Amino acid sequence: MTLAGILFTLGLVSMLIRRNMIFMLLSVEVMLNAAGLAFIVASSHWGQPDGQVMFMFILAMAAAEVSVGLALILQLYHQLKTLDSDAASRMTG
Amino acid sequence: MLWLIPALPFFSALILIVGGRSLSKAAVSVIACGSMGLAAAITLVLGWQFLQGGENAVAQHLWSWIQSGGFNAGIDLRLDALSLAFVFVITFVGFLIHVYSTGYMAEDADFSRFFACMNLFVGAMLMLVLADNLLLLYFGWEGVGLCSYLLIGFWYKDPANGYAARKAFIVTRVGDTAMAIALFMLFQHTGSLQIQTILSGAPELWSTGNETVVLIAFLLLGGAVGKSAQLPLQTWLPDAMAGPTPVSALIHAATMVTAGVYLIARTHVLFALAPTAQTAVAIVGAITLLLAGCSALVQTDIKRVLAYSTISQIGYMFLALGVGAWSAAIFHFVTHAFFKALLFMGAGAVIVAMHHEQDMFKMGGLRKQLPAVFWVFLIGSASLSAIPFITSGFYSKDQIVWLAWSSAQGHSAYWVIAIAGAFLTAMYTFRMVFLTFYGEPRGHHHPHTPGNSMMIPLYILAACSTLAGFVELPHTMGHFTLFSDFLQPVLPAVHLVQESAALEWTSQLLAAGLTFLGIYIAWVWVIKKPDGMLRFSQMPFMQWLRAYWFTGWAFDAAYNELFVHPFVRTARMNRKDIVDRIYTTLARIMQWCHDMLARTQSGLLRWYIMGVVIGAVLILSVLIWRVYV
């Protein structure tokens, strides 16, 4: 459980400090897996199968999310010729 | 059948409003005059039945108008002697004026609009006098005010006419507000707006001189003063002459301006319970009749002379009401409606003949050119200035003059003012007659006698204004009291304290003598020695007095200084509306919040993530805090 917490925090912090989009996507993956780990630990702790089922969903969701995210990053790279997230800042209020 | 009387003019007005533009002038005349003629005929029939029936009142409940809790107002009509007198005058004189208008307005492009407004006015006025509850009366009261506004500003292309219309509307509104408050108070205290309930309940509810009833009576007086152009709200009537002359004859002489007299006569029980207010009525009437008489003396516009004369004559009616001579006031209303409508329409005939010239100093010598108009105008003038024995004005006005002294609430001062007013009346009336019809022609016009549609109503009214006086003769001359007996069931008789025939004779002879003296002075003034009078009037003091009277005792200037200018100044100071400030400030705060929020949308992805994280942390901590602490 502690490991899950540490993993989640690591992912969060790295997402906040990295400007490279690929690394940000990776951090999101790390956070998702941390959440998945927390589910598995909790389910084995209480002896309930729900957590395992939930992890399956998270895996499927993560796969879909990565494909959409990578497609977006590709498009962004085509447009801006960079992977810097701060470069895509034209939509301001 | 009673409901038909107001319904007919309303119906005709509706037709003219909806389809007036597509109707020919002849069709419009037939509809407008026909509805009025029918209403007048129905009035005659109903009046005959009423006199035969011997009942005190005929009531008709049409439908419920407003029903809310204890409040109940219906469209209830009620015909009694008082309203019959008014309905008769309104329909009969109104019919004649409608016929006359078909000739007077024949050239006007807005023929149907004119008759729509006139019919609407008559309908509203009939509602006013037939109403059985004060709310319906108020409905009619405001309806006639609206039509008065529409008709004064009938020739709206001239901004001055629009100004006159607005002035009339706003000044009468002051009185109407007072009246509305009176109605609220009456409802609060009596729980009803039915006139009969209030009148029968009032003596049990209030003792004589009770503060509430005095206040209510004063507020009602305020409403009456506004509508009837009495001091201090008289300033609108002279300007109301901007409207077409038939309008002046119908609304501003015969009917609407006497609505105040009707209101006070209708609520006479309240005034009897409030002696202070009743004295105020008499004082208002007395002062007004003098002031307006003086102003009429120096006017140059023939219609303005008649307007001031109307104010002055209504002053007589108020004086009569104030001394408790209720039926005398109504009697004077009837005769005044006849002869003042006659005078206005005669003046209208002169004005048309002179190609819309209203300045008397540009007329003159019309006696030979317009003999028919001259004779009817002379009959009207004789009636207005109360030439003894042969005119109706003599019988009605002398009754007021005498009762102003001899009534229980009378006073010798009232009598002096009334008699001075009679003198002034004769003087200004015949100054007008001499200026218009005698002497050398001063205009460059070629007058033409008006057509039959204008002259026949004048002949009928001339006959009426002579004969109408004989329904009521004073004690000294046969003591024939048909009219006051007729009103007896509604209005109590006057209490006399002096019944000396010798005194009454003296009063009548003095009034008659002063009338003739006034005519003589007018003759000297205008015809015999105009040069001498000119020199007299060139004296500085006289010139000042003339200018002062000409402007109606400078009431307009005073009101401008007192009310209009401060109001305009305040409005100008408050151009950036203070109340508006609140809303603009509110809008500005919103704008600022928006700017602040918009700035957070920086386009930097990591800031958004940060925002999400902070939000999540906050929500989680709140949840945890709620659960564990």
Q: What is the pLDDT of residues B601-621, one digit of tens each?
A: 777 777 888 888 899 999 999
Q: 């008289």: which residue's tokens?
A: B234
Which residue from B600, B604, B613 is facing A86, i.e. has the nearest CB? B604
Closest residue in chain B to residue A87, using alpha carbons only: B604
Q: Which residues in chain B have their CB less than 8 angstroms from residue A15's CB?
A: 606, 609
Give B624: exposed, middle or buried? Use CB within 10 Å, 0-12, 13-18, 19+.
exposed
Residues of B within 8 A of A24 (CB-CB) are: 605
In this structure, the answer to whether residues B601 and B470 fall within a common structural domain is no
Structural contact between residues B277 and B214, judged by C-beta atoms closer than 8 angstroms: yes
B377 by DSSP, 3-state: which?
Answer: helix
pLDDT, tens digit, for every residue of B341-383? 999 988 888 888 887 788 888 777 777 888 888 888 888 898 8
Last residue of a domain, one of B555, B587, B610: B555
Residue contact B601–A89, C-beta within 8 A: no
CA distance B94 to B340: 13
Which of B600, B399, B374 minimizes the C-alpha distance to B484?
Answer: B399
Q: With beta carbons less than 8 A apart as the criterion, state whether B246 and B348 touch.
A: yes
Distance from CA of B622 to the nearest CA of A (A): 20
Tell me which chain A residue has its CA closest to the CA of residue B603.
A89
Count of helix runs (H) and strand runs (E) in chain A: 3, 0
Last residue within a domain, chosen from B523, B555, B587: B555
Low-confidence ranges of chain A (pLDDT < 50): none
SS3 B249: helix
Which residues are registered as beta bridge partners of B64? B74
Question: Number of A:B CB contacts under 8 A?
Answer: 33
- Asked if B429 and B385 touch (Cβ cutoff 8 Å), the reply is yes
- pLDDT 10s digits, B456-489: 888 988 888 888 878 777 777 667 777 777 777 7
Please check whether residues B464 and B537 belong to one and the same domain: yes
Do B583 and B543 have their domain in common? no
- The model's pTM is 0.79
Do B605 and A86 count as a contact with CB atoms less than 8 A apart? yes
Q: How far is CA B499 from CA B198, B302, B554, in A?
A: 33, 40, 41
Q: Residue A16 and residue B211: Cα distance in Å, rounded?
A: 82
What average pLDDT does this structure show over B211-234? Answer: 89
Nearest to A93 among B599, B605, B606 (CB): B599
| B213 in any annotated domain | no
Q: Are B130 and B59 in contact (CB under 8 A)?
A: no
With 90 as the cut, is the pLDDT of residue B69 above it?
Answer: no
What pLDDT is stored for residue B618 in this prediction? 94
Shortest CA distance from A19: residue in chain B? B606
Contacts of A82 in chain B (CB under 8 A): none
Asked whether the predicted pLDDT for residue B623 surpasses 90, the reply is yes
Digit-coded pLDDT (tens) for B416-456: 898 888 889 998 898 888 888 887 777 666 777 777 888 88
Quote the minimal CA–CA distance from A24 to chain B in Å: 10
Q: Which amino acid is at B317?
A: M
- Is there a domain that residue B273 lies in? no
Q: Do B610 and A16 touch (CB under 8 A)?
A: yes
Closest chain A residue to B595, measured at CA: A93
Whole-number average pLDDT of chain B:
86
Dig out the tokens for A6 from the structure: 């540490």
User: Smallest Cβ distance to B603: which of A12, A19, A89?
Assistant: A89
B175 domain residue, yes or no: no
Model pLDDT, residue A71: 92
- Do residue B472 and residue B585 come from a single domain? no
Q: Which residues on A lie below 8 Å from B617 (Cβ)?
A: none
* Residues on chain B touching A89 (C-beta within 8 angstroms): 602-605
**In the prediction, which pLDDT does B218 show?**
92
Closest partner CB to B609 (pick from A16, A88, A91): A16
Amino acid at B222: G
Which tops the pLDDT comparison, B111 or B593? B593
Q: Is residue B521 part of a domain?
A: yes
Short-list B143, B136, B142, CA closest to B76? B136
Same domain, B116 and B19: yes
The rounded distance, in Å, linking the Cα atoms of B21 and B312 is: 39
Q: Which chain B residues touch A93 with a CB distance below 8 Å?
A: 597-602
Q: For B323, phi and psi rounded to 5 degrees?
A: -95, 10
Looking at residue B593, its amino acid is C
| Closest among B325, B332, B327 to B310, alpha carbons compared | B332
Are B61 and B162 in the same domain?
A: yes
Q: Which residue of A has its CA nearest to B596?
A: A93
Identity of the residue in B601, B605, B610 whose CB atom sits nearest the CB atom of A92: B601
Q: Are residues B347 and B488 in the same domain?
A: yes
Residue A14: what are its φ and ψ, rounded to 5°? -65, -30
Residues in chain A whose Cβ is within 8 Å of chain B: 12, 15-16, 19, 24, 85-86, 88-93
Helix (H, G, I), strand (E, B) or coil at B77: strand
Assigned domain for B489 exists: yes
Classified as helix, coil or strand, B473 is: coil
Q: Kindly state the helix (H) or strand (E) to which residue B36 belongs, with its residue range.
A: helix B25-53
Is B508 inside a domain boundary? yes
**CA gap B486, B480 in Å, rounded:** 12
A89/B597 Cβ within 8 A: no
CB-CB under 8 Å, A85 with B605: yes
> Which position has the token pair 């129905």?
B42
Nearest CA-CA distance, residue A88 and chain B, Å: 7
Q: In one letter, which amino acid is B126? A: L
In a domain, B234, yes or no: no
Residue B514 near residue B426 (C-beta atoms within 8 A): yes
Residue bearing tokens 């809008």: B587
Let me know whether B451 and B548 are in one domain.
yes
The answer, yes or no, to whether the previous bond of B474 is cis (omega within 30 of 0) is no
Bridge partners of B57, per DSSP, are B80
Q: Measured between CA atoms, how close is A18 to chain B, in angstroms? A: 9
Q: pLDDT tens digits, residue range B508-524?
A: 888 888 888 888 888 88
Whose tokens are 């004369």? That residue is B309
| Among A16, A27, A73, the residue to mutate for chain B (most B Cβ within 10 A) | A16
Q: Which of B210-224, B305-319, B356-370, B427-441 has the lowest mean pLDDT?
A: B356-370
Among B291, B285, B293, which Cα is nearest to B309's? B293
What is the percent of chain B where pLDDT is above 70? Answer: 99
Domain residue limits at B602 = 576-628
Last residue of a domain, one of B555, B584, B610: B555
Which residues of chain A lie closer than 8 angstroms to B610, CB-CB? 16
> Do A93 and B597 count as a contact with CB atoms less than 8 A apart?
yes
CB contact under 8 A, B604 and A91: no
In a domain, B149, yes or no: yes
Measure A26 CA to nearest chain B CA, in Å.
15
Instruction: Assess whether B616 and B507 both reside in one domain.
Output: no
Residues 562-621 of B with CB under 8 A from A: 597-606, 609-610, 613
Domains contained in chain B, number: 2
> Where does residue B110 rank: exposed (0-12), middle (13-18), buried (19+ CB within 10 A)?
middle
Q: How far is B585 from chain A (nearest CA, A)?
A: 23
Check whether residue B543 and residue B587 sit in a common domain. no
Any idea which of B148-162, B214-228, B282-296, B465-479 has the lowest mean pLDDT? B465-479
Among B153-162, B211-220, B400-409, the least confident range: B400-409
To the nearest 10°, report the CA torsion of B258, B264, B266, B267.
Answer: 160
Q: Which amino acid is at B313?
A: Q
Helix (H) / strand (E) element for B74: namely strand B71-80
The amino acid sitting at B617 is: V
At residue B67, the 3 state secondary structure works out as strand
- Inter-residue contact B338 to B318 (CB < 8 Å): no
- Phi/psi region, residue A77 (left: phi>0; alpha: psi -120 to 50; beta: rest), is alpha
Closest Cα in chain A to B599: A93
- pLDDT higher than 80, residue B170: yes
Q: Long-range CB contacts (< 8 A, 24+ apart) of B292-297?
A: B292/B234, B292/B552, B293/B420, B293/B421, B293/B424, B293/B425, B293/B428, B294/B424, B294/B549, B294/B553, B295/B238, B295/B549, B295/B550, B295/B552, B295/B553, B296/B424, B296/B428, B297/B424, B297/B427, B297/B428, B297/B431, B297/B549
Confidence band of B593 (pLDDT split at 50, 70, 90): very high
Burial class (CB in 10 A: 0-12, 13-18, 19+), B545: middle
How far apart CA B103 and CA B96 sit, in angstroms, is 11
Kindly indicate the confidence band of residue B576, based on its pLDDT and cuts at 50, 70 and 90: confident
Looking at the structure, do residues B496 and B525 belong to the same domain, yes or no? yes
Contacts for A92 with CB less than 8 Å, ≥ 6 apart: B601, B602, B603
In a shared domain, residues B474 and B338: yes
Contact across the interface for B606 and A91, Cβ inside 8 Å: no
Distance from CA of B583 to the nearest CA of A (A): 25
